[in-house]
């Protein structure tokens, strides 16, 4: 495989990449990455969490599984996944300044599985932006509006979901060492990533594109 591009995306920032059909895209890191995709030739066609879950009748995806668009077209296939400690998330949206404020003010909730609470409590602890702002900024050069950024595939975000109540608990399960998810593009895609701030715990990530 020849590396066409390798870029570090700093913590709590975003970036976008054009990936051509058949190319391999690697997302590598140790903390949460919010990931979205668009059809490069028709940016109205976007990744869809619900289609991805329904078409494969499951809420967790890994090697061999497909990311679908709302038009039910395969966009990307996961060809390698080295995150063995936990699973990726297809339930949650993305963090944002407003969401973080709502949690801090008690207007919204975020619960943890392990009895810890890393939610910001004071105004000065709330980051002034999160994944929504990062992803919106990354795709802005393609004239995609913030409202048109779909709910993401949350890589390395391991949730524990109570099977009876459906409550989604955040966990602190992350790759112990750097892990990666490799995708094969099934169409020409514009993809965008956000290195989630994770309430101050987020780290930089690496994005690589290979010609197979």
Task: Please list, residue by residue across 130-157, b when 16 or more beta carbons sit within 10 angstroms of its beta carbon and e when fewer do.
Answer: bbbbbbbbbbeeeebeeeebbbbbbbbb
Binding pattern to Zn ion, positions 131-160, x when CB under 5 A? x-----------------------------
Residues 36, 67, 78, 95: which binds Zn ion (CB under 5 A)? 95
Quickly count: other Cβ atoms within 10 Å of residue 32's Cβ.
29
Q: Which stretch binds Zn ion (CB under 5 A): 37-45, 56-64, 90-98, 169-177?
A: 90-98
Which one, 29 or 130, has the nearer CB to Zn ion?
130
Question: Is residue 33 near Zn ion by the rule CB under 5 A?
Answer: no
Q: Which stretch binds Zn ion (CB under 5 A): 10-18, 22-30, 127-135, 149-157?
A: 127-135
Angle 23-26-32 (CA atoms, 0-180°, nearest 5)? 145
120: exposed, middle or buried (Cβ count in 10 Å: 0-12, 13-18, 19+): middle
Quickly count: other Cβ atoms within 10 Å of residue 17's Cβ.
20
Sites for Zn ion among residues 37-76 (CB under 5 A): none
Which one, 69 or 96, has the nearer CB to Zn ion?
96
Which one, 103 or 131, has the nearer CB to Zn ion?
131
> Shortest gap between Cβ of 51 and Zn ion (angstroms)?
22
Which one, 26 or 129, has the nearer CB to Zn ion?
129
Question: Is residue 36 near Zn ion by the rule CB under 5 A?
Answer: no
Q: Which stretch binds Zn ion (CB under 5 A): 11-19, 49-57, 126-134, 156-164?
A: 126-134
Q: Which stretch binds Zn ion (CB under 5 A): 10-18, 54-62, 114-122, 129-137?
A: 129-137
Query: 208: alpha, beta or left, given left = phi > 0 and alpha = psi -120 to 50?
Result: beta
Question: Is residue 196 near Zn ion by the rule CB under 5 A?
Answer: yes
Rounded to the nearest 10 degrees, how much is the dihedral formed by the CA atoms of 31, 36, 40, 44?
-160
Q: E strands, the chain, where? A: 2-9, 14-19, 24-29, 33-39, 42-46, 66-68, 74-81, 111-112, 153-155, 159-161, 168-170, 179-185, 189-195, 205-211
Q: Which stretch binds Zn ion (CB under 5 A): 48-56, 82-90, 177-185, 188-196?
A: 188-196
Q: Which residues contact Zn ion by CB under 5 A? A: 95, 130-131, 196
């Amino acid at each position: 495989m020849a590396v066409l591009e390798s870029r570090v995306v700093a913590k709590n920032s975003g970036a976008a990449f054009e990936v051509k059909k058949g190319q391999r895209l690697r997302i590598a890191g140790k903390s949460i990455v919010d990931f979205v995709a668009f059809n490069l030739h028709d940016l109205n066609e976007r990744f869809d969490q619900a289609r991805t879950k329904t078409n494969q009748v499951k809420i967790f995806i890994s090697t061999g599984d497909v990311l679908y668009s709302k038009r039910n077209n395969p966009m990307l296939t996961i060809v390698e996944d080295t995150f063995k400690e936990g699973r990726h998330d297809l339930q949650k949206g993305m963090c944002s300044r407003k969401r973080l404020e709502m949690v801090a003010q008690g207007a919204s909730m975020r619960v943890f599985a392990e009895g810890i609470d890393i939610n910001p409590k004071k105004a000065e602890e709330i980051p002034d932006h999160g994944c929504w702002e990062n992803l919106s900024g990354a795709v802005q050069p393609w004239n995609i509006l913030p409202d048109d950024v779909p709910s993401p595939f949350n890589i390395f975000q391991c949730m524990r979901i109570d099977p009876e109540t459906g409550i989604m608990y955040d966990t602190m399960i992350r790759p112990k060492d750097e892990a990666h998810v490799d995708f094969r593009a099934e169409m020409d895609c514009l993809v965008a990533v956000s290195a989630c701030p994770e309430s101050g715990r987020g780290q930089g990530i690496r994005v690589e594109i290979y010609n197979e």
